[in-house]
Amino acid sequence: MKQVYFDNAATTQMRNEVVECMTKVMINNFGNASSSHSYGRSSKSIIETSRKAIASYFNVSASEIVFTSGGTEADNLVLRSAVRDLGVNEIITSKIEHHAILHTIDQLVSEYGILVKYVDVKSNGHIDYSHLETLFDTSKKQLVSLMHINNEIGSKLDIKRVADLCNANQVLFHSDTVQSVGHYKLDLQDIPIDFLAASAHKFHGPKGVGFAFIRKNSGIKGSIYGGEQERGYRAGTESIHNIVGLEEALRLSYKNLVRESDYILTIKNYFIERLVKAFPNVTFNGSSAIEDESTYTLVSVCLPIAPEKASLLQFQLDLKGIACSRGSACQSGSSKSSHVLSEILDDEHLNRPSVRFSFSTYNTKEEVDYVIETLREFVES
């Protein structure tokens, strides 16, 4: 059976070079970085070299990069400390954020009684920037948390515009950049963002490692207590091989960025072209099919399939070896639809099967052809 992986927004295949460098470190550099002997010093040196390299891609100081277990932990670290330690009493966000943001905010409301304001989201999946400006309130200590690239529909936030707005209004700005780091360059000297979160497995690195960017002198404090690792932000013995794997994956992603992004966009556009030809009544969620308004890595599709067949769609795709992500309740068996799609779709389209297809440099046009033919066979059967 043919295997096609079109779920790269969920996780990506590790590059061979990343596996090789991680394996080398696991074999040769097993010392605890907190130990004072040569084994520990060697491990510590490797970690700090990786930290400096990662910081250089964002034009920031190495001390502003804090290694975490991934994007979720980085989001939690920033949001919880902002409320607990910085005195933030109101968070501005949107209802289409990742659950790492939304569920953390819900918990902070429960624990600290903070206020939450939601910026309006347009039907194309973009926030209303004019509405955002009306939410600023100098009488409160506010933090804005808006993701750069939406993980379900691929809409792009004008992150520079939001950062400048927040900076002008003395409002802290945090962004979940899990879907953009490794896919877009971010100069954090030009973009006055205070905090961001990233995860290695979204750009062909290992799972279980990511980082938070924390602007120096922000006042953010750690949430995991124990030793003094990561300058007190995150206690616990560092996972050296994962940190090295993160750095190598990021290095290769940015080294190959122009070539690979052009190639992936070609795959996405070919997928859209073939899909529209096969299903003239297909629609695309948000602006995921509009090149200038969405990421080049994914497209969210609402398929014109009868409700009685919709429940079988994901099963049939999986049966044919095709990996992708469900986007609505009608084919997931869930009692809840996607919280993102619920914000932007009308009832008619929300009740149709939506599927997210996300691409990487390892995908081919031949795979697109196979997926389109599989969909056609399913609809016509």
* The CATH number of domain 16-255, selected from 3.40.50.720, 3.40.640.10, 3.30.930.10, 3.40.50.300: 3.40.640.10
DSSP letters for 18-55: HHHHHHHHHHH--S-TT-SSHHHHHHHHHHHHHHHHHH
Note the pLDDT of residue 328: 44
Mention every residue, 6+ apart, whose C-beta is less than 8 A from residue 241: 22, 23, 25, 26, 29, 206
| DSSP bridge pairs for 210 | 68, 199
pTM exceeds 0.85: yes
pLDDT of residue 306: 79
Separation of CA 219 from chain center: 25
Instruction: Please report the beta strands in the chain, taking only residues with DSSP state E, as ranges in sequence order.
Output: 4-5, 65-68, 90-93, 115-118, 142-145, 172-176, 195-199, 210-214, 283-284, 298-302, 322-323, 325-326, 354-358
Which residues are identified as catalytic? 330
For domain 257-380, the CATH class is alpha beta
**What is the predicted pLDDT for the residue at 332?**
42
10-residue mean pLDDT series, the chain (381 residues): 94 98 96 94 96 98 98 98 97 98 98 98 97 97 98 98 98 98 98 98 98 96 90 92 98 98 98 97 96 97 85 91 75 65 91 94 98 93 83
- What residue ranges do the domains of the chain occupy? 16-255, 257-380
How many residues would you count in the chain? 381
Would you state the pLDDT for residue 329?
38
Predicted local confidence at residue 327, as pLDDT: 65
- What lies within 8 Å, CB to CB, of 348 at 6+ separation is none
Residue of 353, 304, 307 lying closest to 328 (CA atoms)? 353
